[in-house]
């Protein structure tokens, strides 16, 4: 998961794209590690629809 993020962040053409981790691993350590690695958000399964929609709006707004 983190390898793909590193590749995305290293390429100037894609570095600005928001990246979200989606996982069934919901332990606080899993979330902390993913966010520390550079993910913009961390969603867990089952997906919380209200949070998903709010995060999508926020991430799209950040792109301009």
| The pLDDT of residue 63 | 87
Q: Are 19 and 3 in contact (CB under 8 A)?
A: no
Give per-residue pLDDT as tens, 17-27. Answer: 999 999 999 99
How does DSSP classify residue 47?
A: P
| The pLDDT of residue 23 | 94
Q: Closest Cα partner for 21 from 54, 55, 49?
A: 55
* Inter-CA distances, 64 with 16, 31, 35, 44, Å: 11, 26, 22, 26
| The pLDDT of residue 1 | 63
Q: Are 61 and 47 in contact (CB under 8 A)?
A: no
Give per-residue pLDDT as tens, 12-57. Answer: 999 999 999 999 999 999 999 999 999 999 999 999 999 999 999 9
pTM of the model: 0.82
């Amino acid at each position: 998961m983190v390898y793909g993020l590193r590749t995305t962040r290293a390429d100037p053409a894609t570095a600005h794209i928001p990246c979200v981790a989606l996982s069934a691993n919901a332990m606080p350590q899993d979330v902390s590690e993913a966010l520390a690695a550079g993910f913009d958000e961390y969603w867990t399964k089952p997906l919380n629809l209200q949070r998903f929609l709010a995060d999508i709006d926020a991430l799209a707004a950040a792109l301009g």
